[in-house]
Amino acid sequence: MIVRLPVQWIVAHRVTLIPGDGIGPEVADATVRVLDAAGANVEWERVELTSAIIQAAGEELPPTVIESVERTRVGLKGPVTTPVAGGFQSVNVALRRRLDLFANIRPIRQLPGLKTRYQDVHIDMVLFRENTEDLYSGIEHEVVKDVVTSLKVITRTASTRIARYAFDYTRAQGRKKVIAVHKANIMKLGDGLFLNCCREVAAQYPEIEYKELIVDNASMQMVIRPQQFDVLVMPNLYGDIVSDLAAGLVGGLGIVPGANIGQDHAVFEAVHGSAPDIAGKNLANPTALILSAVSMLEYLGEKQTAQRIRQAVETVYREGKALTGDVGGGAKTTEFTDAVIGALG
């Protein structure tokens, strides 16, 4: 006999909420409203991180931020503006390095009813980007005046673990094909090592089709025939570029979720900018952060709640009556959020 605990006895998942700045607080508040309305088993630990706070602290990750994420192990982050001057590193890059969030995951999926130039093509792919090395290691040196070298770091450890993560995901989700994206025809050692690691991992998953594409060809193929792609895995720089290209196929960064996963921590985020020009005007589209929170709930094991929220978002897009301006509608942020909550049933 299975004994179920009363709801009030179930310990909630503690999650660090980093609203960010610009439109961040608006889309974060909308997301919290949706999750609360859906009955998500989440207890929020809100931590402020803005451009002004970074400048005042003199560092990208003030202690209050990193201590919270290290304690909760899971974060939901809105857009944070990196100060232009002062040599500050991107907050995203700093978080990934500090917490060893080695896998950046970007699901690219069409929303029903959303008009794009690919609306008659079925697009459903997932991009896995190695998150910790490559040119993002930031190892640069000015050899002599006006001559700079940047080191591209590729290791067997990082390449193998992102490949294995992509193949494990593919198997678990019942997907069929993994494509490794590279430039090994030019960078024979660095990208060659990445490809060798992918091949070694692929051999352990015989039921999954494995292919390789040079990054420039992959980009062209993605524009010409995006429906051919299923799961893609690639080093850091290519992943940064190709994932934004893929987002453009389905309507842009405003509707695409993002996740950064490590061994012990995970941070889910909207990958669009802070859009200061519309901040505080109730015009922002919270879809990307809401869907990032859906991915977070799936990660936490709250799969039924995640599915309800995803279906509610899709219902609002399918009906097309409460969409924000960036996707062809005229609704306010709060009106879109109310519509999603109303569609939860």
Active site residues: 136, 183, 216, 240, 244
Question: Taking a C-beta distance cutoff of 8 angstroms, is the pair 262, 36 a contact?
Answer: no
CA distance 35 to 255: 17
CA distance 222 to 62: 39
Element (H, E) at 258: strand 257-261
Alpha-carbon dihedral angle through residues 331, 335, 340, 341, given to the nearest 10 degrees:
-170
CA distance 290 to 18: 14
Count of alpha carbons within 13 angstroms of residue 120, beta-carbon side: 1
Contacts for 36 with CB less than 8 Å, ≥ 6 apart:
none
Question: Taking a C-beta distance cutoff of 8 angstroms, is the pair 42, 35 a contact?
Answer: yes
DSSP secondary structure string for all residues of 79-94: --PPPSSS-PPPHHHH
Q: Give me the residues paired with residue 213 across strands.
A: 181
Positions of E strands within 95-204: 103-109, 124-130, 140-144, 147-150, 177-182
Closest CA to 199 of 239, 230, 240, 159: 159
Show the tokens assigned to 244. Answer: 């934004």
Closest CA to 314 of 343, 289, 273: 343
